[in-house]
Amino acid sequence: MNRHNTHVAIPGTGLKITRLGLGTGPLGGMYTSVSDQESDELIESAFDNGINFFDTAPFYGLGTAEVRLGRALKKSKKAFVLETKVGRALIPATDTGTTIFEDADPTVETVFDFSAKAIKRSIEESLNRLQVERIHLVLLHDAENHVSQAIHEAYPVLDEYRRLGKISGVGIGMTHCAASIQIMQECDLNLVLIAGRYTLLDQEAQNELFPLAIQKKVSVLAAGVYNSGILANPISGARYDYAPATPEILTKAVKIQAFLRERNVSLTAAAIQFPLQHPAVTGVIAGARNKAELQENIKDFNSDIPLTVWEDLHSARLIS
């Protein structure tokens, strides 16, 4: 059964996105370089498989992911829903420091800037890199240390753009629940992208964030479902939240993997499907660096996992 290309609505936007969206962090060369050919083939494969929702950000490859996505979107004649982010501005580089993106543009660096001026400039620059006339959804990106400015300076710009019809929806893209909740309480959002906080290893988002989202009719998109890789391959040296996993986290991931294996369920399939077990979650965003990885994501997303598996995980207290 194909569930990945089922369309679901984002309230208040008029948009319908596929249940599985493609995250483009890897197209910036996150940890591993990606060729332009791999990037083009990936986007083409997403369209061929009925996926219409693409998530990106200036931060991914310091503009590279947006450029690559835009080039591929321009080639396609199919309809799509495009989501990017603001708040992590790109400025001319003064320090060629290290980055997690192998394909990063060396001429720029990123700074946090949620000022109104920076938000307007960021959207214009993203439109240029993406070669589109319209971005459908715009998210405040990683604003946990800039909550006040995000609420009082950045959000009003996005709210005005939404009112004028320049964009369809406003949201936040975060890895921190507390800051996400604070912004949700103060702003009229259409969606929340929460990364890594509702996974097989971390269910923090269900405590307060999800109930608030349901109350305010805000769609939730779950990202970071593999917690930076450990839930794809829990071996020594695997990353958890962008850093090497602690022995405790690695042990838990291995235990979950073994538990699932006894029930003939792969860890990656459970990881990508788990967020959808909560009624607050509208869809899942999963990254891929080539079409082969995308095909694996789709296969995992569509695989049948008996309801008893989730019940067993709860009973064994491996998830809360």
Q: What is the pLDDT of residues 180-217, one digit of tens each?
A: 999 999 999 999 999 999 999 999 999 999 999 999 99
Q: What are 20's two structure tokens?
A: 């599985």
CB 22 within 8 A of CB 97: no
- Please give the pLDDT value at position 98: 73
CB 60 within 8 A of CB 33: no
Q: Give residue-wise pLDDT tens across range 84-132.
A: 999 999 999 987 677 889 999 999 999 999 999 999 999 999 999 999 9
Q: What are 182's two structure tokens?
A: 């604070």
- Please give the pLDDT value at position 96: 66
Angle at 214 between CA 82 and CA 232, to 5 degrees: 60
Q: What are 244's two structure tokens?
A: 């090497």
Residue 245 lies in a domain: no
Task: Give the bridge partners for 220, in sequence order.
Answer: 192, 281
- Please give the pLDDT value at position 1: 73
**Among this protein's residues, is 242 annotated catalytic?**
no
Half-sphere exposure in the Cβ direction for 22 (13 Å, CA): 34
C-alpha distances (whole Å) from 46 to each of 43, 52, 55, 76, 164 are: 5, 8, 12, 11, 31
Residue 49 lies in a domain: yes
Q: What are 191's two structure tokens?
A: 């969606």
| CATH value at residue 50 | 3.20.20.100
CB 271 within 8 A of CB 253: no
Rg for the chain, CA atoms, rounded: 19
Residue 141, classified by CB atoms within 10 Å of its CB into exposed (0-12), middle (13-18) or buried (19+), is buried
Residue 281 lies in a domain: yes
* Nearest in space to 141 (alpha carbons), one of 128, 150, 133: 150
CB 249 within 8 A of CB 225: no
Domain count for the chain, please give it. 1
Residue 85 lies in a domain: yes
- Per the structure, the complete domain to which residue 164 belongs is given by 7-233+269-306
* Nearest in space to 242 (alpha carbons), one of 290, 195, 294, 181: 195
Residue 313 lies in a domain: no
pLDDT < 70 stretches in the chain: 96
From 60, 155, 161, 240, the catalytic residue: 60
Residue 250 lies in a domain: no
CB 78 within 8 A of CB 41: no
Residue 314 lies in a domain: no
Q: How far apart are the first and last CA of the chain?
A: 28
Residue 1 lies in a domain: no
